[in-house]
Amino acid sequence: MKSDASVCPRCQLQNGCSVLQGQSIEQCWCRTQAFPSKTILDSGKAAAGSTALLNSKACLCQACIQQLKQLEDSQLFIQVD
């Protein structure tokens, strides 16, 4: 299956990346987003299926970033790094 950089690797919906739409990175929603730690992004708990999200070549969508940040903030995921 060919990877599509405009599709979120977690939920398979469009990720809304401004750069892929021909705009500058300064216009992207990710510039003002609080991101979860590398530990949660690289965990099996965060990934859809068994592949860690940091192995993906595509950006996560805003909804998935917010869900992962909430998971991290709720202490359901214990950071050990």
Taking only the tens place, the pLDDT of each residue in 29-81 is 999 998 888 877 777 666 655 456 767 788 899 999 998 888 888 765 555 55
Between CA 17 and CA 5 the distance in angstroms is 9
Q: How many independent structural domains does the chain possess?
A: 1
Identify the domain containing residue 53 by its residue range.
Answer: 1-81
Q: Strand, helix or coil at 19?
A: helix
What pLDDT shows up at residue 62? 93
* Helix boundaries (H) for the chain: 38-41, 62-73
Counting runs of H as helices and runs of E as strands, what totals does the chain give? 2, 0
What pLDDT shows up at residue 23? 93
Residues 6+ apart with CB under 8 A from 21: none
Between CA 56 and CA 78 the distance in angstroms is 23
